[in-house]
Amino acid sequence: MKRKVTLKQIAKELDVSISTVSKSLRNSLEIGEETRLKVQAFAKFYNYKPNNIALSLKNRKTKTIGIIIPEIVHYFFSTVINGIEQVANENGYSVIICLSDDSFDKEVRNMEMLANGSIDGFIMSLSKETQLKGDFHHITEVINQGMPVVMFDRVTSEILCDKVIIDDKSAAYEAVQSLIDKGRKKIALVTTVDYVSVGKLRTDGYTKALLDNGLPFNENLIIKIEDVDTCEVIIGQLLEDKAIDAVFAVNELFAVTSIKAANKMGLNVPNDLAVIAFTDGIISKYSTPTITTVSQSGKKMGNKAAKMLIERLELEHEDDEEEEENYKTEVIETHLVERESTN
């Protein structure tokens, strides 16, 4: 798609200031008739269309950032919010948070509500339902209105905007590799049934690590948990059958439940079962034994997302032009926090 001509390009072409172009297009009498007509003719020729909504939004800065997250009883999202708050406050921005409850409708409703003059831009993580539906019209609309959006963690390639992610595939790969390095050969992946983008990437990383190390890939060791209570039963059965010597869990709850299953059978963690969890939250830090985790650095992610959004907001402000190009995707480094559940 060819980009439409901008104020900046018209200004450059005619060797006048952007402000002169802008005023001429509004037919301001501050600008001499000759220049005015020349600018107008040029703009018409190149089919220039001012983005009126965007312009009006730009003139009415709220200095407020809107955050849309899927759920709140979730340590990772809480830490991301703290990271956003920190950078926002340092830069004189306030923060408003809305929850989608992993519902598409609620995500749409909340975005429409906030976009209606309450905020300057969004930082968001997609709801499960939105990812399943693949319907992102509400986000496109907001961006078309000239409101910048930064996505984090649960993102989509369907939307062009700034993004902050971790490399879920590499992170999972590293975690599984560390289990293999410790001599584990029968590693279960305990994951969720829903199809959030990150889930797939983690499964890919798990699989690749096994194959790269010449270990057999056994589909029965990929356990998709719908209800956390079934987790204990399934892990218990696998331990009974001596089918596993390690668990890589996509969240802390599955990890701590796997440990419980092992304890109930009189097995020792980490000796009989090594456990690594994705996301370094409070459960892992305070459980017995403490759990080795992949730290997602939620705070860093929040810091970065806020920086990207604010930079774009201030850029727009100075420039009076849309800069919807040069979108960046920042990858935040993860690292393994080694604790008692591996050895």
Residue type, 140: T
Q: How far is the CB of 266 from a copy of itself (least distance, A)?
A: 14
Nearer to a copy of itself by Cβ, of 19 and 103: the residue is 103
Nearer to a copy of itself by Cβ, of 227 and 241: the residue is 227
Contacts of 206 (CB under 8 A, 6+ apart): 172, 173, 176, 187, 189, 222, 248
Nearest to 298 by CA among 8, 25, 74: 74
Q: How far is the CB of 118 from a copy of itself (least distance, A)?
A: 5
Rg (CA), the chain: 25
Nearer to a copy of itself by Cβ, of 8 and 260: the residue is 260
Q: How far is the CB of 89 from a copy of itself (least distance, A)?
A: 7
Residues in touch with a copy of itself (CB under 8 A)? 62, 64, 72-73, 75, 78-79, 81-82, 85, 89, 94-99, 101, 106, 109-110, 113-114, 118, 253, 256, 263, 282-283, 286-288
Q: How far is the CB of 82 from a copy of itself (least distance, A)?
A: 7
Residue spans of beta strands (DSSP E) within 136-225: 149-152, 162-166, 187-192, 222-225
> Residue holding tokens 């979108």?
327
Nearer to a copy of itself by Cβ, of 20 and 279: the residue is 279
Contact at 8 Å (CB) between 188 and 257? no
Strands 335-337 and 292-295: antiparallel
Q: How far is the CB of 239 from a copy of itself (least distance, A)?
A: 17
Angle between helices 75-90 and 298-319 (to 10 degrees): 40
Nearer to a copy of itself by Cβ, of 106 and 307: the residue is 106
